[in-house]
Structure 1
């Protein structure tokens, strides 16, 4: 397996205002959207599985790198525990599992843990935006070989094929944890997605896979000036240098572009240029004043998204104008410009 390491913040998570407002909500979102039908079922050995496999058989002991490989077990004298809901099915297309690697010898110190979920983004608009901020954060890189998702060292998300949609909404697989390498997270994500789709009865004829390394990784910087944030002309905020923000930015051709600014100024902008990534925004209010614009660029359905409430009046000259400039600048970069049909 191939991969690379990119810069990360201290914990690989969102920070500052955006983090404080969102992180607690993410747990509520996950519980509400993905665990409702499995309440009371998530306990060790709730669902039958072999001691050498985890998450409905997707992950095998002593296989590959990361939490499943020999290195962690041998280095830390560790053992693994997993908790699973029943696997997703056609009638109940959702499920969760958790994997914990823990030291032996009575210390009970967790070496690392992973939480996985199969399901849909939340239906509630506020929770939906929180979910997008978590999993389409700028610290995550686009998956290789055209897979519709992202991965970082501590989170990953994959949009599943349309055959797995439920009531017109896309199904996804998400991972949260501290593996520390986007390639390892991506491999775990894809293996779990293939297993979950098979259980849910929507697996494609050819399993999802990737062989290419992560050749494009996001950038992490402390902005010196608050104009052209993430290198995007017109994205400007009214804050001094000492505000202590961190920006994460990644541009992956016409497929995906993400700008996340964490700190006292908070912002989140996304462009998606594939149908499956664009499906993640289905159900959200649309329009420039609501932070969601759709265009068709050279035949590609393209979505431009900005969290409307994030700036809190710090945009120059105003928050809506900053979003409009984001749409115009990125449209020009990807060859859409003003010729795209809205």
Structure 2
């Protein structure tokens, strides 16, 4: 594995807007209107996302983060109906939520269909329950997620993202506050069939711009904004490869071999590989069901989301550091010093599946790459 994931995303807002406008003109307006509209929503990373300019309050969405009428058709007049619901965070109640949705009805050769798309941003603390927190974090870090650039503690992919806010926004009990973005799109046919679709937010760079803009506005409303707004100025890492068919070895890590019968029908995604973050996700090829997820997090604010989850003793005999292996919760987590700083490793799988050997292999592969003693028993990795 390489130590850093390559990037080919230049992040130019003007180029993105032009490209998406050409895409919209090229498509029939009666086909995939909602998903195309959402693609335009995130394509521009200029004034509408940065929150710049003398605009009226009613011309904005998501606590004023996204501007209406500045180019993106999702936020402008179109052939669909757009709705918005918002609850802004406050200093007394630092929780918020905003949803922007578009709905359009069409008549096709085989009948009518309705296209729907929705983008939701949530502002609030990490879940208090340990199992729910691990599951919540994995939602945004597994699969094709890549770290945010410019030292921002978080991750994004083409459909969702997570950003951990500065410590000044933490809850009184010490839990970090985060902003998350989720998207969904689907087409409902008149015969009752509903087909899910990608929301096409314009790529990881666009998702990062949306997320950071909403986070800045949310922090202002909650009274914990830093002196300088958070910004995305550097390219966002992109994965060199897409999800791969599974043969015997998951994520090309020695020790994560499965027998031929077990590996049949599986596929894996090699995620980002950096000194702050690494992921490996194995899924059933014919669906999104999890077989096994493994994560390594060393970025301090991102790792702080797991404070209080790792316990105060080794998770099992031979493991270094502190951690918890649950029997029924389906997760394993361990934290230990590695190359001069704490590293947190997480594994998630259905509670009925034994995944300890895979986690051992993943943990030792990570520690070998980072240049420290093994965290898991069984050698120094290969």
User: Which structure has greater strand proportion?
Assistant: 2
8 A contact 2:83–2:102 mirrored in 1 = yes
* Residues 281 and 104 (structure 1), Cα distance of their counterparts in 2 relative to 1, 3 Å cut: same
Partner of residue 171 from structure 1, selected from 144, 157, 177: 177
Cα distance in 2 between the residues matched to 1:108 and 1:116: 27
Residue pairs, 1:132-281, within 5 angstroms: 132-166=137-171, 167-177=173-183, 178=199, 179-217=201-239, 219-227=241-249, 229-238=250-259, 240=261, 243-263=264-284, 266-281=291-306
| TM-score, normalising length: structure 1 | 0.74
8 A contact 2:145–2:157 mirrored in 1 = yes
Query: Alpha-carbon deviation of 1:284?
Result: 2.0
Residue pairs, 1:72-151, within 5 angstroms: 77-85=79-87, 87-103=88-104, 109-151=114-156
Query: Alpha-carbon deviation of 1:239?
Result: 5.1
Residue pairs, 1:288-303, within 5 angstroms: 288-289=315-316, 290=325, 291-303=332-344
Deviations 1:11-51 (A, max 9, x none): xxxxxxxxxxxxxxxxxxxxxxxxxxxxxxxxxxxxxx943
8 A contact 2:65–2:214 mirrored in 1 = yes
Query: Alpha-carbon deviation of 1:190?
Result: 0.2
Gapped runs of 5+ residues in structure 1? 6-48, 314-318
What is the alpha-carbon root mean square deviation over aligned residues?
A: 3.0
8 A contact 1:260–1:267 mirrored in 2 = yes
Cα distance in 2 between the residues matched to 1:155 and 1:140: 9
User: What is the total number of aligned residue pairs between the two structures?
Assistant: 285
8 A contact 2:163–2:211 mirrored in 1 = yes
- Find the structure with the greater CA-based Rg: 2
8 A contact 1:2–1:183 mirrored in 2 = no
Deviations 1:146-167 (A, max 9, x none): 2111111111111111111111
Deviations 1:50-97 (A, max 9, x none): 4321111111113465844x6xx5xx5334311012x11222111111
| TM-score, normalising length: structure 2 | 0.67
Cα distance in 1 between the residues matched to 2:161 and 2:240: 14
Secondary structure of 2:94 counterpart? coil
8 A contact 2:246–2:264 mirrored in 1 = no
* Residues 114 and 285 (structure 1), Cα distance of their counterparts in 2 relative to 1, 3 Å cut: same
**Equivalent residue number for residue 364 of structure 2:** 328
Gapped runs of 5+ residues in structure 2? 1-10, 17-55, 184-198, 317-324, 326-331, 377-382
Query: Alpha-carbon deviation of 1:304?
Result: 1.1
Secondary structure of 1:304 counterpart? strand
Residue pairs, 1:312-327, within 5 angstroms: 312-313=353-354, 319-327=355-363
Secondary structure of 2:245 counterpart? coil
Secondary structure of 2:212 counterpart? helix
